[in-house]
Amino acid sequence: MPAVRELELDLDAFEGPFDLLLSLVLREELPLREVDLAEIVIAFIENLSERGELDLDACGEFLVLISALLELKARAMFPDEDAELAELEPEEAAEELARRLAEYRRAKEAANWLRGRLDERRDLFFRTGPAPLAPKPERKLAQQDPTKLVAALRGLAIEPPTPSTAHMALRFPPVTQFLDRWRSLLRRRTRFDFDQEVAGLTRVEVAVAFLALLELRKQDEIAIAQSGPFAPIRISRADAERSLSWTAHSA
Amino acid sequence: MDSPLRLITTEVTPAAELARTIEALLVVASQPLPLEELAAAAQVDSAEVEQSLELLAEKFSEERSGIVLEHVAGGYAFRASAAATEACARLFEKPVEKGLSQAALETLAIVAYLGPVTRPEIARIRGVNVDGVIAGLAERGLIAEGGRENEFGAIRYRTTPLFERIFGLESLASLPAADDLGADVTEIRERLEAVAEKRPA
């Protein structure tokens, strides 16, 4: 089993075994701030799960190493105040210390002054409840010109154009509708009067009904007779017509 | 036949009328009203309000009234007369200033003098963590958040108008000058050195 230090890493800032990363960091050849430590943790956990067995020694070693790296990185990211002080000459350090003490002393004195002030006002009562709701500030509208309103209304007052019905086509009822109608009528009666049957229908319907008649005549199912122009059109079954003519002949 | 006389005595001069209005505004307000706000509400200019306030200060003084006018927290407000303290204390509490610790007062002082100031800055001066103290002061309403150090930086704190009111300050400028507080750096330095010399080498 490979030791923790041989853990292969493929990071943004570094590629190679963990051991090499450690020595580079310690020799300050690789800035730790650029290394994503979370990626190392993920790589280790993946490696661990691939092996399928829990190596407590390896985990322990890894924890020690990664926490040391975390600490180093944290120190690198935050300026270390103690280090700042440590860099100072003894003389400067004493000065800095005195300055800070004076600052704190001042805060303490100010606190004492506030305490005194509080004691003076201890006996004074006043209202400190929440303020009543302020009235909503009036919304100021810009100065308006009434003629503009007139113009706007005038635009609305124009009568709209009559809608065009040009798209609505004439509706013709199907010829078959009247074919069926005439045929069923002729089954019940041998003859009928066209004008009587189409009374109440529209002009278009009358025209279609007439077309149906011509169709029936063409098929030789009916006979059509009209005694003169504009006289009633008489329709009769073709066989009835024949018998009739035969009767007429015989008569 | 005293009705005409009464009419004369109830006649109100414009100045007295304004004083009445200001008085009414102050009685409704629960926090000090700045001069400008009083002027805006009464629809007069600030100079007239100032005159009224002078009249009112006379009328509402410790000597003459149970209500006392005071100039505090950047505005004007009524408070109870000190003579009524005991009665007030039987009926009311003062929860904001009750039990303020030394740590709280020191922190409050730092915020008052250096504000807006961040928690780390306060902690550096006091030498200890101040998170709890800051939270307590904010809860009492004595300090409030006042912006950030930069877009994502630490929250800065400042004192509130309530702080000025509780401590009876007209404004933060009424605090004693920082230079007048405590010993100066050289004095502390000398004392440090004296201690160092006494210490066995």
Under the banding of pLDDT at 50, 70 and 90, the label for residue B11 is: low
**How far B47 CA sits from the closest chain A CA (Å)?**
24
Residue at token pair 């701030």: A33
Residues B147 and B71 in one domain: no
**What residues of A are in contact with residue B113 (Cβ under 8 Å)?**
106-107, 110
Name the burial class of residue A79, with classes exposed (0-12), middle (13-18) and buried (19+) by CB atoms within 10 angstroms of its CB.
Answer: exposed
Which tokens sit at A196?
Answer: 């009587």
Among the partner-chain residues A101, A112, A128, the one whose CB lies closest to the CB of B162 is: A128
Given B47, B63, B88, the domain boundary residue is B88
Among the partner-chain residues B79, B100, B176, the one whose CB lies closest to the CB of A124 is: B79
Which tokens sit at A3?
Answer: 């030791």
Residues of A with CB under 8 A from a CB of B: 94-95, 97-115, 117-118, 120-132
Look at residue B61 and tell me if it is in a domain. Answer: yes
Report the C-alpha gap between A222 and A240 in whole angstroms. 9
Given B36, B55, B88, the domain boundary residue is B88
Among the partner-chain residues B29, B100, B183, the one whose CB lies closest to the CB of A105 is: B183
**How far B10 CA sits from the closest chain A CA (Å)?**
31
pLDDT(B76) > 90: yes
Give the whole-number percent of chain B exceeding pLDDT 70: 84
Closest CA to A198 of A188, A187, A207, A186: A207
**How far B4 CA sits from the closest chain A CA (Å)?**
40
Residues B152 and B80 in one domain: no
- What is the full DSSP assignment across chain A? ---GGG-EEE-SS-EEEHHHHHHHHHTTSS-GGGS-HHHHHHHHHHHHHHH-S--HHHHHHHHHHHHHHHHHHHHHHS--HHHHHHHS-HHHHHHHHHHHHHHHHHHHHHHHHHHHHHHHHTT-----SPPPPPPPPP-PPPP--HHHHHHHHHHHHSPPPPPP-TT-PPPPPPHHHHHHHHHHHHHH-SEEEHHHHTTT--HHHHHHHHHHHHHHHHTTSEEEEESSTTSPEEEEEHHHHHHHHHHHHH-
The reported pLDDT for the residue numbered B189 is 65
pLDDT(B36) > 50: yes
Find the CATH number of the domain harbouring B141.
1.10.10.10
Report the C-alpha gap between A115 and A119 in whole angstroms. 6
**What's domain A175-250's superfamily in CATH?**
Structural maintenance of chromosome 1. Chain E (1.10.10.580)
Closest CA to A135 of B18, B45, B28: B28
**What residues of A are in contact with residue B79 (Cβ under 8 Å)?**
124-126
pLDDT(A172) > 60: yes
The pLDDT mean for chain B works out to 83
**What residues of A are in contact with residue B189 (Cβ under 8 Å)?**
94-95, 98
**How far A137 CA sits from the closest chain B CA (Å)?**
12
Domain hosting B22: range is 3-88
Given B88, B118, B135, the domain boundary residue is B88
- Counted across chains A and B, CB pairs separated by less than 8 A come out at 116
Cβ contact A123–B82 (<8 Å) = yes
Q: How many C-beta atoms lie closer than 10 Å to residue A45's C-beta?
A: 12
Look at residue B94 and tell me if it is in a domain. Answer: no
Under the banding of pLDDT at 50, 70 and 90, the label for residue B68 is: very high
- Calculate the CA B174 to chain-centre distance: 9
- Under DSSP, the state recorded for B175 is S
The reported pLDDT for the residue numbered A40 is 85
pLDDT(B1) > 60: no
Give the range with max mean pLDDT: A68-72, A159-163, B16-20, B151-155.
B16-20
Report the C-alpha gap between A121 and B94 in whole angstroms. 11
Domain count, chain B: 2
Residues B74 and B111 in one domain: no
Nearest chain A Cα to B76, which residue? A126
For A186-234, how does the pLDDT look when each residue is reduced to its tens digit (9 = 90+)?
A: 888 888 999 888 888 888 889 999 999 999 999 888 988 888 888 889 9
Angle at B45 between CA B39 and CA B51, to 5 degrees: 85
**What residues of B are in contact with residue A120 (Cβ under 8 Å)?**
168
Residues B122 and B42 in one domain: no
**Top-confidence residue, A80 or A164:** A164
pLDDT(B199) > 70: no
Nearest chain A Cα to B86, which residue? A123
**What residues of A are in contact with residue B199 (Cβ under 8 Å)?**
none
For B99-113, how does the pLDDT look when each residue is reduced to its tens digit (9 = 90+)?
A: 888 889 999 999 998
Report the C-alpha gap between A29 and B108 in whole angstroms. 47
Under the banding of pLDDT at 50, 70 and 90, the label for residue A166 is: confident
For chain A, the structural domain boundaries read 4-82, 175-250
Look at residue B93 and tell me if it is in a domain. Answer: no
Under the banding of pLDDT at 50, 70 and 90, the label for residue A58 is: confident
From first CA to last CA, the distance across chain B in angstroms is 101
CA dist B191 to A103, A112, A156, B125, Å?
15, 22, 91, 19
**How far A36 CA sits from the closest chain B CA (Å)?**
22
Candidates B140, B167, B190: best to mutate against A (most CBs of A within 10 A) is: B167
For A113-153, how does the pLDDT look when each residue is reduced to its tens digit (9 = 90+)?
A: 889 988 888 878 887 766 555 555 667 778 888 888 898 88
> How large is the average pLDDT for residues A230-240?
84
For A15-31, how does the pLDDT look when each residue is reduced to its tens digit (9 = 90+)?
A: 888 888 888 887 777 77
The reported pLDDT for the residue numbered B73 is 87
Among the partner-chain residues B31, B105, B186, the one whose CB lies closest to the CB of A111 is: B105
Q: Where are the beta strands (DSSP E) in chain B?
A: 67-72, 75-80, 117-118, 143-148, 155-159
Residues B82 and B120 in one domain: no
